[in-house]
Chains A and B, each alone.
Chain A
């Protein structure tokens, strides 16, 4: 990962220090060159300027003047030895050395002429040419080193300043972001004097405030949601099928299944784990009713499940126990005769429907019609008639078993469906029992009420799909019995297609 500060320092070096160093280097080269030139120039100039004095000294034996000449020349850099020799007086007029070191020297001899161009002497100079460049370099190097050092120092200081300048805001930004990401959004952003950072932080601050607003909104809606979540009559809960736990659950769920926390009672945990296992094993399907064991006993729930994620199932369960009970009651009322409390025509029709769906079932239809009911109704009133019907229905209902059902088809007409594969004699015995039980008088407010019964029996054999026809036969048999006053008649359509009378 690149670092911004490194980049800044890199560009600073590239665009300032490097060009400056190059320029400085060039400057030094030029300075060095011009120094050398001026040195040569200076040398020639001094020799030239001393030529008159030198001539005077060598022609007039003036050692003091000669001394001045050589001293003058000795002051030139790199001159090691100067001597002014006079040809006229055959001697050295003055000699100066500038160092006692044994150096490699170049001998230079400048002849001195008098007015008549006679050579009257010479100026002999020993010069340490070797040192010329070196000493110039040596004079430059400290400055160059100081400059380089200054550049490095500048670079170092710049780097430090930049790092110090940038690291704080970036650190603050990082820390601020970290705190915000950790959810500590209540803090205000750090203050910075630079407009760039101020604007950066102010935009972050805007973001933070927006976030804060959103969080508040979220909290409010969560509160609302929680309220409805916990107020609702529907159990809402989330199941983790992998870890076999309840992730969360609302109050209604806890009402039925107890606390979902670890501190829950053992029984609650058992109930919950039963439910979790059923959901995990796909025993509970969406939109259906199930009987579930709860703290309040077995209850019915309608389940809705949503697989929101792997192993996570969001569920809702509506307690429909009372609803189902009401529904059952209603259904029962629908098929029950309101007076006699036995099955009515609707119940009968339902029974027929069920039978028609299973054509292989054998059944006997026993039609029972009361004789003498109307006069009782007329003489003793409807309430006596109703009482009678109730009593008769009770007596018929005594025959009700799992395979024998009694219905009141209307008025004084009843039917018994015997769904048994039995001999006719059994049915005939049953018919006799019914007749006998109906013929037993009934006490009603001090008077004895007596009715008789006419019974028509039809047999629906296995494979017979035409139940209506069977019922009709039973009706016909019943009418025959009524006409013949024989008590009961058995339709024999199945055998010779005739009604037998007894």
Chain B
């Protein structure tokens, strides 16, 4: 385990000479552990972008390692023991036993994605997905011809259900007749890469009459897009704009600026600021937004205007959609 870690260890940060006098914190020595190598245009790829920016802007060195998912916790434990601080826990929401681990290692700071722990040594990067998911639901309800859409979550977890809630509410606000078929790929973080199961579920949904599928399943979503590309239908992208590869499949993508969030949190720690155990990012921070795929034949100019209007409404405290969202969907913490 340690060997693996050492194999991929990357050099230590060199302290920059122009660090401000205000900066009393010790230099950061962050570590990020992946199960799959971060590909561009994916959740992990975005994290990677944020890390790169931090390295470049702040002059800190972030160690990265890719391990088998079964070795994940061991690798994290090794990183703690090797005094890496903070640890970027990118699979935190699908790794239930991480919470106890975090709490039992108060000397090390953890940056947990999509989850926050009630622990003073962890900071959760939380994305409020409801709003954009609502917009997706709205769009799905407009575009569906079978009045049946599918939702495929990576795991049955709070952040995923945060998506689902917004998505369902968006559909409901257009057409209450539209049925939402919900399925989850797995129960652990391995689900995020299980393209096979994802495509099976998607095929089943298409067979059952759904014509739009919203996969929120990380890498596994690719399986869904492939099935749709083959059998027809529509889908939504998540995390990044997926329309380049699937221009005939993707209606719109829900972009999460995980890179910005990662950079901001790293900078905060870099500045020695620790003022809460979670950071909440959403439409208000322009951290989550929706981009349409203008290449898709079903996307029109009026859709563009609709998305702009809905996006504005999500930032408008007095708007009805936002009030309904706040009422019906929990702000995921």
User: What chain A residues lie within 8 Å of B273 (beta carbons)?
Assistant: 59-61
Q: How far is the CA of A93 from the CA of B285 in the complex (A)?
A: 5
Partner among A61, A70, A95, A98 whose Cβ is within 8 Å of the Cβ of B279: A61
Chain B interface: which of A8-16, A84-92, A133-141, A298-306?
A84-92
User: What chain A residues lie within 8 Å of B22 (beta carbons)?
Assistant: 116
User: What chain A residues lie within 8 Å of B287 (beta carbons)?
Assistant: 91-92
Shortest beta-carbon distance, A161 to chain B, in Å? 48
Asked if A89 and B284 make an inter-chain contact with CB atoms under 8 angstroms apart, the answer reads no
Q: How far is the CA of A365 from the CA of B119 in the complex (A)?
A: 190
Q: How far is the CA of A96 from the CA of B273 in the complex (A)?
A: 26
Asked if A95 and B315 make an inter-chain contact with CB atoms under 8 angstroms apart, the answer reads yes
Q: Is B281 an interface residue (CB 8 A)?
A: yes
Partner among B268, B280, B313 whose Cβ is within 8 Å of the Cβ of A64: B280
Knowing A60-B273, A61-B268, A90-B263 are in contact, say whether A95-B285 is a contact too (CB < 8 A): yes
Most A CB within 10 A of own CB, among B57, B264, B309, B319: B264
Shortest beta-carbon distance, B102 to chain A, in Å? 20
Partner among A83, A89, A95, A98 whose Cβ is within 8 Å of the Cβ of B264: A89
Shortest beta-carbon distance, A449 to chain B, in Å? 168
Q: Is B107 an interface residue (CB 8 A)?
A: no
Q: How far is the CA of A221 from the CA of B260 in the complex (A)?
A: 125
Asked if A92 and B286 make an inter-chain contact with CB atoms under 8 angstroms apart, the answer reads yes
Shortest beta-carbon distance, B294 to chain A, in Å? 20
Asked if B260 and A91 make an inter-chain contact with CB atoms under 8 angstroms apart, the answer reads yes
User: What chain B residues lie within 8 Å of A67 (beta carbons)?
Assistant: 284
Asked if B286 and A95 make an inter-chain contact with CB atoms under 8 angstroms apart, the answer reads yes
Shortest beta-carbon distance, B56 to chain A, in Å? 12
User: What chain A residues lie within 8 Å of B260 (beta carbons)?
Assistant: 90-91
Number of contacting residues on B, CB 8 A?
31
Asked if A96 and B285 make an inter-chain contact with CB atoms under 8 angstroms apart, the answer reads no
Q: How far is the CA of A198 from the CA of B10 in the complex (A)?
A: 116
Number of contacting residues on A, CB 8 A?
27
Question: Which parts of B275-291 form the interface with A (CB within 8 Å)?
Answer: 275-276, 279-281, 283-287
User: What chain B residues lie within 8 Å of A243 (beta carbons)?
Assistant: none
Q: Is A63 an interface residue (CB 8 A)?
A: yes
Asked if A62 and B309 make an inter-chain contact with CB atoms under 8 angstroms apart, the answer reads no
Asked if A97 and B264 make an inter-chain contact with CB atoms under 8 angstroms apart, the answer reads no
User: What chain B residues lie within 8 Å of A100 (beta carbons)?
Assistant: 309, 312-313, 316, 319
Asked if A71 and B317 make an inter-chain contact with CB atoms under 8 angstroms apart, the answer reads yes
Which A residue sits closest to B318, measured CB to CB? Answer: A98
User: What chain B residues lie within 8 Å of A418 (beta carbons)?
Assistant: none
Q: How far is the CA of A93 from the CA of B276 in the complex (A)?
A: 15
Shortest beta-carbon distance, A71 to chain B, in Å? 7
User: What chain A residues lie within 8 Å of B276 (beta carbons)?
Assistant: 62
Shortest beta-carbon distance, A375 to chain B, in Å? 173
Question: Which parts of B281-333 form the interface with A (CB within 8 Å)?
Answer: 281, 283-287, 309, 312-313, 315-319
Q: How far is the CA of A98 from the CA of B312 in the complex (A)?
A: 8
A403-422 Cβ-contact flags toward B at 8 Å (1 or 0): 00000000000000000000
Which B residue sits closest to A116, measured CB to CB? Answer: B22
User: What chain A residues lie within 8 Å of B281 (beta carbons)?
Assistant: 63
Q: Is A74 an interface residue (CB 8 A)?
A: yes
Q: Is B44 an interface residue (CB 8 A)?
A: no
Shortest beta-carbon distance, B205 to chain A, in Å? 33
Partner among A60, A91, A97 whose Cβ is within 8 Å of the Cβ of B316: A97
Q: Is A94 an interface residue (CB 8 A)?
A: yes
Q: How far is the CA of A98 from the CA of B263 in the complex (A)?
A: 29
Q: Is A99 an interface residue (CB 8 A)?
A: yes
Q: How far is the CA of A95 from the CA of B315 in the complex (A)?
A: 7
Most A CB within 10 A of own CB, among B275, B276, B284: B284
Q: Is B271 an interface residue (CB 8 A)?
A: yes
Shortest beta-carbon distance, B262 to chain A, in Å? 11
Q: Is B105 an interface residue (CB 8 A)?
A: no
User: What chain A residues lie within 8 Å of B312 (beta carbons)?
Assistant: 97, 99-100
Most A CB within 10 A of own CB, among B265, B273, B280: B273
Asked if B280 and A99 make an inter-chain contact with CB atoms under 8 angstroms apart, the answer reads no
Asked if B317 and A88 make an inter-chain contact with CB atoms under 8 angstroms apart, the answer reads no
Q: How far is the CA of A83 from the CA of B283 in the complex (A)?
A: 12
Shortest beta-carbon distance, A187 to chain B, in Å? 75
Q: Is B267 an interface residue (CB 8 A)?
A: yes
User: What chain B residues lie within 8 Å of A81 (beta carbons)?
Assistant: 315
Q: How far is the CA of A95 from the CA of B271 in the complex (A)?
A: 24
Shortest beta-carbon distance, A497 to chain B, in Å? 166
Q: How far is the CA of A94 from the CA of B314 in the complex (A)?
A: 12
Q: How far is the CA of A116 from the CA of B267 in the complex (A)?
A: 19
Which B residue sits closest to A92, measured CB to CB? Answer: B286
Knowing A71-B317, A97-B312, A100-B319 are in contact, say whether A61-B264 is a contact too (CB < 8 A): yes
Which A residue sits closest to B275, measured CB to CB? Answer: A60
The contact sample of 22 A-B pairs, CB cut-off 8 A, is A60-B268, A60-B273, A61-B265, A61-B267, A61-B273, A62-B275, A62-B276, A63-B279, A70-B284, A74-B317, A89-B268, A91-B263, A91-B264, A91-B285, A91-B286, A92-B287, A95-B286, A95-B315, A98-B318, A99-B312, A99-B316, A100-B312
Q: A59-B271, A92-B286, A92-B287 are in contact. List 11 more A-B contacts (CB 8 A).
A: A61-B264, A63-B280, A81-B315, A83-B286, A90-B53, A91-B257, A91-B263, A93-B285, A94-B285, A95-B283, A116-B22
